[in-house]
Amino acid sequence: MKNKLIKILPYIGGALIGFVGGLIGIRLSINLDLNWIYLIPIVILQMIVFVVVHELSHGFVGEKNGLKFTVLYLGPFVFKRENNKFIKIKSFSKQLAYAGRAQIDNFEILNEEDVEKARKAWVKALKAGPLSDLILGIITICTGLIFKWDLLIISTIIIFIFISIPSYIMGDGKHVKLIKNDKIFTDVILYTYSIVGNTPISRESISFLLQTIENDIEKTNVNKKNLISLAISAQAIYMEAICNNKEDLPKNINKIVEMTIENKKIFLNKQIEASYYKSLINVAIMYEVLIKDNKERALDLYKHVKNEKHNLPGEKLDFYRVEYLLGITNRKEEILNENLLNPIFKGCEGVEYMERIINESILEKTRTI
């Protein structure tokens, strides 16, 4: 039943908006004495409620299915979860990409059965957010109709049009579809959320997940349909190699980089996919300099990102690292500026550790160049 509701969420939302819009139109033709000045604070307050419930639904449903809910992001505020209690981090997160986010960590994944269990848990966790939007939307609209609070109804419609439905189409709904149907994407997501968070994961689990990604890269016939997922996987392999000084990588990884460059338009059509393009090329450059000591290859790759705009969280820092490594610009001050670390993962110990390792490697390398 939940699956069907999730699939038709945009249609239900549209129907609700149309139905309620018609009712309001009839009411407004009779009564135009609405206190419109109160609409903005109502929308803001209701949006906060929707975001909080949405993210808590992701986190607690994930936890109910074996995952770990470790950090809650609400605008600039960050709350780490320790002993089942939320503790606010004193400093602010400057992330603007999301109104809210739930950091969910994986359990130990050691075999294919664990992969399937984790995949199902993630699908349920991702669906929980949109489902909470739908339930809250129905409750608030019914409340508005019963008590004749037209502004509450209008506010709900605004939130559905500009937040809930776009968020579902471009975010949760899209990721549910990918995790259900795209093994390569699923494997790299499971690896990523095993290492970036605050839940210690055994080396055996990390090794198994890494081997799974490497198998995907090595055995998959690279084409335009799977290129984005493989690019994300390749980036993860490069990052792991830099942090662990690993030189031997899957042979197919160079082909993925070259095809990513050749098919740049596939990535640049949308902002998130564009970020995948820039992230892969930048981390490949860092790998070539830090691990392979191949500055010529790195400079060749640099040509494909030097004119790109690096605006999203983390993008700018990666580009500064690249320019500093290649000796193009002195970016040491920027590299050491913690404000340039990806704020989306503020409070995630796994990410913060990897970022420190990369910075230390870059600073050490530039001393010897």
Sequence-distant (≥ 6) Cβ neighbours of residue 312 within 8 angstroms: 97, 271, 275
Identify the helix (H) or strand (E) that includes residue 6. Answer: helix 2-7
Main-chain dihedrals φ then ψ at residue 96, nearest 5 degrees? -120, 5
Which range is least confidently modeled, 4-18, 214-228, 260-274? 4-18
Q: What is the mean pLDDT of residues 162-188?
A: 91
Report which of 47, 199, 45 is spatially closest to residue 118, judged by C-alpha positions: 199
**343, 103 contact by CB (below 8 A):** no
pLDDT band at 31 (very low <50, low <70, confident <90, very high): very low
Phi, psi of 193 (to 5 degrees): -80, 5
pLDDT at 17: 53
Other C-beta atoms lying within 10 Å of the C-beta of residue 153: 23
Rounded Cα distance, 134 and 136, in Å: 6
pLDDT at 229 over 90: yes
Q: What is the pLDDT of residues 110-123, one digit of tens each?
A: 999 999 999 999 99
Cα 7 to the chain's mean position, in Å? 21
Share of residues in the chain with pLDDT > 70 (%): 87
Sign of the alpha-carbon torsion through 90, 95, 96, 98: negative
Beta strands in the chain (DSSP E): 68-74, 77-82, 85-88, 100-105
Least confident of 89-93, 146-150, 256-260, 270-274: 89-93
How many whole angstroms separate alpha carbon 276 and alpha carbon 272? 7
pLDDT for res 120: 96
On the 0-12 / 13-18 / 19+ scale of CB atoms within 10 A, 311 is exposed
Residue 266 pLDDT greater than 90, yes or no: no
* CB distance 301 to 257 below 8 Å: yes
For residue 96, what pLDDT band results from cuts at 50, 70 and 90?
A: low
User: How distant is the alpha carbon of residue 126 from its chain centre?
Assistant: 12
* Strand-by-strand arrangement of the 68-74 sheet: 85-88, 77-82, 68-74, 100-105
* Single-letter amino acid code for the residue at 67: L
Which of the four pLDDT bands, split at 50, 70 and 90, describes residue 199? confident
- Using a CB cutoff of 8 Å and minimum separation of 24, what contacts does 84-90 make? 89/346, 89/347
Written as six digits, the tokens of 320 are 């500064």
Q: Which among 273, 275, 291 has a CA at the least distance from the CA of 237? A: 291
Alpha-carbon 318 to chain mean position? 17
Q: What's the CA gap between 41 and 79, in Å, rounded?
A: 24
Interval 97-109 mean pLDDT: 87
pLDDT tens column, 32-84 = 445 677 888 999 999 999 999 999 999 999 999 999 999 998 888 888 888 88
pTM of the model: 0.83
SS3 helix, strand, coil % of the chain, rounded to 5?
70, 5, 25
Across 269-275, average pLDDT: 75
Question: In whole numbers, what is the pLDDT of the chain averaged over residues?
Answer: 86
Report the alpha-carbon angle 347-348-349, nearest 5: 105
Angle of helix 112-147 versus helix 39-64 axis, rounded to 10: 150
